[in-house]
Amino acid sequence: MTEQNIHTPEDIEKNKTMAGLSYLLFFLPLIACPESKYARFHANQSLMLLILGIAGNVILGIIPVIGWMLLPVFGIGVLALFIMGLVNGFGGKAKRLPLIGTFDILK
């Protein structure tokens, strides 16, 4: 069963905006619509992206020269994932983000 089948069309239509906004503040859907599985899915994806961004910046920031040179490339990658998540959230799609989307922190 795919992710799209878990979420009802009513839930998706009602909470699309919250799902998209979760990429700006991951906890917003958890407060505004805690019963929505669709919004919670995108809140989880956003939280994973936030953790990746912070951890990657800290790790690459500690590594001299090579890490510092890789920071802009890493930032562009995180930005690309952010835009993908934003488009999916506002577009009503429950697609997991590449690389980090398979992990679930929020159940």
Per-residue pLDDT tens over the stretch 83-99: 999 999 999 999 999 98
* DSSP H or E run through 89: helix 66-91
What domain range includes position 56?
41-95
Position 54 in a domain:
yes
The verdict on residue 78 lying in a domain is yes
Rg of the chain over Cα atoms, rounded to whole angstroms, equals 15
Q: Is residue 62 part of a domain?
A: yes
- pLDDT tens per residue, range 4-52: 568 899 999 999 999 999 999 999 999 999 999 999 999 999 999 999 9
b/e per residue 10-31 (b: at least 16 CB within 10 A): ebbeebbebbbbbbeebebbbe
From CA 33, how far away is CA 45, in angstroms rounded? 16
